[in-house]
Structure 1
Amino acid sequence: MTITTFINLPVRDLLTAAEFFRSVGFTGERPTADATALQLTLNETTQLMLHIASSFEEYTGVAVTDTTTSREVIVGLATDSRERVDDLVDRAVAAGGEALGPGRDTGPFYMRGFRDIDGHQWSFLHLAG
Structure 2
Amino acid sequence: MMTKVFVNLPTADLERAKAFYTALGCDISPEFTDENAACIVWSDDIYFMVITREHFATFTDKPIADPNETLQVSTAFSMDSREEVDVVLAKGLAAGGVEPKPAQDYGFMYSRDLDDPDGNSLGFLFMEPAAVEVGPDAYLASQADASA
Residues 31 and 38 of structure 1 are in contact (CA less than 8 Å); yes or no, is this contact kept in structure 2?
Answer: no
Structure 2 residue ranges without an equivalent (≥5): 130-148
| Percent identical | 29
Greater per-residue strand proportion:
1
Alignment coverage as a number of residue pairs: 129
**Which residue is 1:86 aligned to?**
86
The structure with higher relative contact order (CA 8 Å, sep 6+) is 1
Task: Give the Cα–Cα distance (whole angstroms) in 2 for the partners of residues 6 and 107 of structure 1.
Answer: 31
* Closer/same/farther in 2, CA of residues 80 and 113 from structure 1, 3 Å limit: same
Task: Give the Cα–Cα distance (whole angstroms) in 2 for the partners of residues 23 and 33 of structure 1.
Answer: 17
Q: How far does the alpha carbon of each residue in 1:84-106 deviate from its partner, in whole angstroms, 9 at most, with x for none?
A: 00000111011111112332111
**Which residue is 2:134 aligned to?**
none
* 2:119 is the alignment partner of 1:119: yes
* 2:25 is the alignment partner of 1:25: yes
Greater per-residue helix proportion:
2
Computed over aligned residues only, the root mean square deviation of the Cα atoms, in angstroms, reads: 1.6
Structure 1 residue ranges without an equivalent (≥5): none
AA of the residue aligned to 2:87: D
- TM-score (structure 1 length as normaliser): 0.91
AA of the residue aligned to 2:110: Y
Task: Give the Cα–Cα distance (whole angstroms) in 2 for the partners of residues 62 and 12 of structure 1.
Answer: 17
